[in-house]
Structure 1
Amino acid sequence: MILDVFRRFLEGEGRTLLLAGSAREALARAAEPGDIDVALVDKNLGDGSGLDVARQLKAAKPDVEVILVTGYASLDSAIQAVQIGAFDYVTKPVSDYDALNLKVENAVEKVRMKRSQRELVARLVESEALHRGVFETSSDAILLVDAESGRLEDANPAAERLYGRDRDALRDLRYADLLEEGGGEGGPAAGIHAAPGRHRRADGTAFPVEVTVDALRLHDRGLRVVSVRDMSERERAEAERRELEQNLRQAQKMEAVGRLAGGVAHDFSNVLAVVLGYSELLVRDLPTTDPRLRECADGIIEAAHRAVGVTRQLLTLSRKKLLRPEVLSLNKVVQDLGKLLGRAIGERIEVTTTLQEQPWPVLADADQLAQVLLNLAVNARDAMPDGGPLHIATANVEVPQALRELSLPAGRYVTLTVRDSGMGMTEEVRARIFEPFFTTKETGTGLGLATVYGIVRQAGGAIRVESRPGAGTSFTVYLPAADEAAARVAVAVPVAAPRGLGETVVLAEDEDALRTLLGRVLSGSGYQVISGRNGAEALEAARARGGRVDVLLTDLVMPRMTGAELAEALTPGQPGMKVLFMTGHTDDVLVQDRLVDGDVELIQKPFTSEALLAHLRRLLGPPRVAA
């Protein structure tokens, strides 16, 4: 009966009533899925104690609030209600159902508050775990700093790694202690975003950082959240980028100067060839009774040869000098140059050497490597006007990764190091030392180190320069180690000038003075000469005359038809014809391809008459001796 009364007064919108007429039925309802907010439990049930039922209900449904129903109100009833954790109790018979309704509503509200608080705590725990996770796993260093004192309150693992201190050690510091230049008592100002700066590690080394600072209020305390990003890699990458840009500008500048130098040297070579040729003819025809005239002529020849040296340097700058590459040892280059080196740099320079035992061979021009060593040694001598030690060393070096600052790929290299104890260089001077015609000396051409640079780059190597004012200079030349011998490149070897035996030479040269001179030299030495101002004219003259052509002597670069095109046009009708190209440089791909043929060779301008005649004789073979 009482269940029907409770249903009538307690049932309403938003409420679901579960009715049980016994202890067993009540516990069965409690075992069903779902929450129970309030349980009205009669103290005395027919099949059990209501107090036991209340205890089991709270065990099964921890959030449930129990209102104990008892037959009479007493102190014992109140105590029993408290003992079982009841929210309240009511007595039978119930006379005030409004009061009961109010108690039920209050119990429901309490349950809702408990659940809300639990959810809030769960969210707070989750939020704290999330923020702690972000704090702990951030790749940037995060510092929690007291705004007034500047003391470090906390630091994440990234900060421990960045500063080289554990968390406890960091908490003993002020924020100012982490700066490269400490100072100030308070914390950093809020509102800073990605500001550059420099901090210090535990060992005192400074490093670049990017700092962001935000304000945080915790109760009545002002805090600063400082995010610190290590910028060392970015700074290193930026420095490498600037170095690469500088190297690119230098390479472009050297390329432009090289093109200019190559053109000047080519034209100058023709002029020098004429000067040398006529001087030799003059010496040959001078009377031996007048030594003064012979001395003057020898002076002209000597000056012309010095000009040839300058021309060779210009060709080296343009990387178009005719090379004689061979597999050689850097140690032998150093040893062979020993005596000449001593005379070149003087007695006040003390030369010591440290040579690699069994250095790897390199593929290079021995004369050019000697010029590199000589120029570096002379440069070192000039840096030590009062004398001093000069050390030369060779070494085998493995470069596992490309040296971007030198534009040097990974591989095996042999190094040649020349180190002096002289005055050193500023960074501004060091950046320009390889520029052609740049010099800090009162006298000099400014081509020495530029020539070194051209030779080394032409050999596939690079140069590292280390210098500080007052601390001397070290030049380290990297040359690729050779794996096998290079193909031979034929060159002119000045020997005695044998005469021709009436062989026919087709001569093509667009420089009139040089063509006239070469015609006189060849005709006067026993050769039949057919000449033309360019390839087309020489080809026409040769075909008009007819007959056998033994040798084609032609310049490479000419108007209308190049020397290579002339050789291609003449060869089919002249089996066995030899070809000797004259050139100030050797950048013609067709010619380089044809050098594998023993019938085609090169002679580099300017050359002497004796060198030309000897080369022709060697190309044609020794004269036949009559039986």
Structure 2
Amino acid sequence: MATILIVDDEPVILDVFRRFLESEGRTLLLAGSAREALARAEEAGDIDVALVDKNLGDGSGLEVARRLKAAKPDVEVILVTGYASLDSAIQAVQIGAYDYVTKPVSDYDALNLKVENAVEKVRMKRSQRELVGRLVESEALHRGVFETSSDAILLVDAESGLIDDANPAAERLYGRDRDALRRLRFADLLDPEVEPEEPRPGMRSAPGRHRRADGAGFPVELTVDELRLHDRAFRVVSVRDVSERERAESQRRELEQNLRQAQKMEAVGRLAGGVAHDFSNVLAVILGYSELLMRDLPEGDARVRESAEGIVEAAHRAVGVTRQLLTLSRKKLLRPEVLSINKVVADLGKLLSRAIGERIELSTRLQDGIWPVLADADQLAQVLINLAVNARDAMPAGGPLSIATANVDLAEPPRDLPLAAGRYVTLTVKDGGCGMDEDVRSRIFEPFFTTKETGTGLGLATVYGIVRQAGGAIRVESRPGEGSAFTVFLPMAQERGDRVVVQVAASAPRGLGETVVVAEDEDALRTLLGRVLAGSGYHVIAGRNGAEALEAARKRGGRVDLLLADLVMPRMSGAELAEALSGDQPGMKVLFMTGHTDDALVQDRLVDGDVELIQKPFTSEALLGHLRRLLGPAKATA
């Protein structure tokens, strides 16, 4: 819809203009004076064309035209004059008129055409202004995206490779301001250690490696698009720093590796625990019968006695392997106590020196005021000896070996160890040996894995089991030709007196006629226990499981002084048997036997002096010592 203002002080002419210009799609506004024209213009919205008489009764049409142009810049003015002259044309140009016509108008079709052309010009002017506005807005939008993008964006000349523009993210990423980047080629941003590659249109998430102004390299992903401006071709290169992603991926792989290692160790531990349990029963029988054999041998038969002693010695070595398997499975009976690592290291001084030999230069650096830890002293000693011997084997020609302790306060959980934040005591064993590559380092704690020609492969696996059982972890740092450092982290203990399992007495006094109920599902071991106890002055009631032993005890009647029972048996466990029989026999002592045990079970059952536990395999002397300590120096019973 076009709006046309007609201004003339002669009503007849005003009416003629109205009749000839009136048509569909036009709105006509009529004014008979300058004042009325300005008022009508102010009331109206946009006016497209103003047809204004030059001479008005109350003012100049030229002034009306000027004021209309000032108020509504888009309006096009057609000046109406009484006669055509050069002055009229000049005045029309001066006020910015679109055209002028003379009165009387002889060709109204021509006037109509002039008005229509003026309307079209106004429409084009408004459309152009709107288009320019959209272009400006679009340019501002794209510039805003360019400037605020979190990814670095580089505009690279496709022909020369020069950087034409860069956004603030690129300035931050490369450590250079925009002007400095514009003086570089894209190739100047690449890490010189990688093969240079020019950005090609269509690249999506392409991996690369760039470098910052300080020379530090970092991994990136590139996305490249093409842009043409006039006759120039550009590459729009989006660069994303993926350092954090790679670090997170590396940590994820390391955690997965640790999880696989833990699962592997757990599976092997369960297998080792089961093997140790069965093997313990066999060893207990071997040791027991060997001791009975030696006890019954005549004094003068040295050759047979020597053979029997060889059997006992071999059995004791097998017991050591069994202990390692139990440690590996984390099911060895512990004797934890609050102790100082420094004292453990100091007490092992002479033994360590003998174990590693004269070619090794041993040095220690023990921190003063070391925090206490809660651990089994014998097991800590085993950890230190195993690590020292392992270091010795890495230096066949000799070399330095240092042992250090320190207090460490971890403000946050370490990324490479399964530890929580907190206070820890570290024990570090460092050698100057041959070192290890990554493949060997990743497998050193696997049971039965060894790089030596001889050995069981249980040394470091045992160390791993002991440390993990104590709530700690081990960090290994090693490179080929640069030696190795094993750092054990153990949690700091609170200063408190934890109960320690009592050591077995060395002596083995005889019984005084007390009655002992024996419950053991291994036939050979049950028979052996019966012989040992009966031969040492005890009355024995035996059963192959808890239910059978309970039935036999109740059938015999009378007092039962002590129950000797395996913890794990079919039908009725040792713990269930003890509970059932203690109701019939108040004051009865209990000694549990087991090939492996969990700390929780020990804490549940060993609640007072009437209940103890002995770990298989054991010697006859150890068993009899336990019994005598539990029963005390009592008189013989009927």
Q: Does the pair score TM above 0.5?
A: yes
User: Structure 2 matches for 1:117-516, cutoff 5 A?
Assistant: 117-181=128-192, 187-289=198-300, 291-483=302-494, 485=496, 487-516=498-527
**CA shift in 2, pair 1:186/1:515, >3 Å:** closer
**CA shift in 2, pair 1:512/1:486, >3 Å:** farther
- Cα deviation, 1:44-87, whole Å, max 9, x if unaligned, reads 22112222211111111111111222222222222222221212
Q: CA deviation at 1:624?
A: 6.4
1:430 and 1:355 map into 2 onto residues whose CA distance is 27
Q: CA deviation at 1:515?
A: 2.1
1:56 and 1:35 map into 2 onto residues whose CA distance is 14
1:175 and 1:132 map into 2 onto residues whose CA distance is 21
Greater CA deviation, 279-288 or 453-462? Answer: 279-288
CA contact (8 A) 1:148 1:186 kept: no
1:182 and 1:125 map into 2 onto residues whose CA distance is 44
Matched, 1:104 2:115: yes
**CA shift in 2, pair 1:590/1:368, >3 Å:** closer
- Cα deviation, 1:293-318, whole Å, max 9, x if unaligned, reads 54444333332222111110001111
1:185 and 1:29 map into 2 onto residues whose CA distance is 72
Describe the SS at the equivalent of 2:592: strand
**Which of 540, 543, 548 is the matching residue for 1:532?**
543
Q: CA deviation at 1:204?
A: 2.3
Greater CA deviation, 367-376 or 531-540? Answer: 531-540
Q: CA deviation at 1:182?
A: 7.7
**Which of 49, 61, 68 is the matching residue for 2:60?**
49
Greater CA deviation, 22-31 or 589-598? Answer: 589-598
Greater CA deviation, 397-406 or 255-264? Answer: 397-406
**Which of 26, 30, 34 is the matching residue for 2:37?**
26
**CA shift in 2, pair 1:571/1:218, >3 Å:** same
Residue type of the partner of 1:478?
F
Q: Percent identity?
A: 84
- Cα deviation, 1:504-528, whole Å, max 9, x if unaligned, reads 1111122233222222222232222
Describe the SS at the equivalent of 2:204: strand
Describe the SS at the equivalent of 1:67: strand
TM-score of the superposed pair, with normalisation by structure 2: 0.93
Greater CA deviation, 118-127 or 172-181? Answer: 172-181
1:539 and 1:180 map into 2 onto residues whose CA distance is 80
CA contact (8 A) 1:81 1:89 kept: yes
1:184 and 1:311 map into 2 onto residues whose CA distance is 56
CA contact (8 A) 2:331 2:596 kept: yes
Describe the SS at the equivalent of 2:27: coil
2:44 and 2:386 map into 1 onto residues whose CA distance is 96
Q: CA deviation at 1:292?
A: 4.9
1:9 and 1:80 map into 2 onto residues whose CA distance is 26
1:33 and 1:94 map into 2 onto residues whose CA distance is 27
**Which of 598, 602, 606 is the matching residue for 2:609?**
598
2:394 and 2:43 map into 1 onto residues whose CA distance is 99
User: Structure 2 matches for 1:545-564, cutoff 5 A?
Assistant: 545-564=556-575
Residue type of the partner of 1:270?
N
**CA shift in 2, pair 1:620/1:186, >3 Å:** closer
Describe the SS at the equivalent of 1:495: coil
Q: CA deviation at 1:454?
A: 0.9
2:136 and 2:404 map into 1 onto residues whose CA distance is 68
Which residue pairs with 1:566 in the alignment? 577
Greater CA deviation, 107-116 or 395-404? Answer: 395-404
Which residue pairs with 2:6 in the alignment? none
Q: CA deviation at 1:124?
A: 0.5
Which residue pairs with 2:632 in the alignment? 621
Structure 1 unaligned segments of length 5 or more: list them. none
**CA shift in 2, pair 1:563/1:492, >3 Å:** farther
1:61 and 1:382 map into 2 onto residues whose CA distance is 99
**CA shift in 2, pair 1:2/1:33, >3 Å:** closer
Q: CA deviation at 1:280?
A: 2.9
Which residue pairs with 1:11 in the alignment? 22
Residue type of the partner of 1:603?
I
Q: CA deviation at 1:26?
A: 1.1
**CA shift in 2, pair 1:183/1:588, >3 Å:** closer
- Cα deviation, 1:165-193, whole Å, max 9, x if unaligned, reads 22222212211222224899995211112
1:317 and 1:379 map into 2 onto residues whose CA distance is 17
Matched, 1:79 2:94: no
2:176 and 2:310 map into 1 onto residues whose CA distance is 77
Greater CA deviation, 213-222 or 344-353? Answer: 344-353
Q: CA deviation at 1:123?
A: 0.3
- Cα deviation, 1:425-476, whole Å, max 9, x if unaligned, reads 1111111111111100011110001111111111122111111111111112
Describe the SS at the equivalent of 1:229: strand
1:284 and 1:117 map into 2 onto residues whose CA distance is 119
1:248 and 1:300 map into 2 onto residues whose CA distance is 42
Greater CA deviation, 277-286 or 314-323? Answer: 277-286
Greater CA deviation, 318-327 or 402-411? Answer: 402-411
2:283 and 2:196 map into 1 onto residues whose CA distance is 78
Residue type of the partner of 2:250?
A
**CA shift in 2, pair 1:181/1:35, >3 Å:** same
**CA shift in 2, pair 1:544/1:212, >3 Å:** same
Which residue pairs with 2:588 in the alignment? 577
Describe the SS at the equivalent of 1:333: helix
Residue type of the partner of 2:36?
E
Describe the SS at the equivalent of 1:586: coil
Describe the SS at the equivalent of 1:244: helix
CA contact (8 A) 1:504 1:528 kept: yes
CA contact (8 A) 1:320 1:585 kept: yes
Q: CA deviation at 1:138?
A: 1.4
**CA shift in 2, pair 1:96/1:486, >3 Å:** farther
Greater CA deviation, 276-285 or 354-363? Answer: 276-285
Describe the SS at the equivalent of 1:471: coil
Aligned length: 625
Which residue pairs with 2:3 in the alignment? none
- Cα deviation, 1:103-148, whole Å, max 9, x if unaligned, reads 2222212211111111111101110111111111112221111111
CA contact (8 A) 1:22 1:47 kept: yes
2:196 and 2:610 map into 1 onto residues whose CA distance is 87
1:34 and 1:569 map into 2 onto residues whose CA distance is 106
**Which of 51, 59, 64 is the matching residue for 2:75?**
64
CA contact (8 A) 2:338 2:498 kept: no
2:150 and 2:603 map into 1 onto residues whose CA distance is 57
Structure 2 unaligned segments of length 5 or more: list them. 1-11
Q: CA deviation at 1:590?
A: 5.3
1:580 and 1:459 map into 2 onto residues whose CA distance is 26
TM-score of the superposed pair, with normalisation by structure 1: 0.95
Aligned alpha-carbon RMSD (Å): 2.1
1:605 and 1:92 map into 2 onto residues whose CA distance is 132
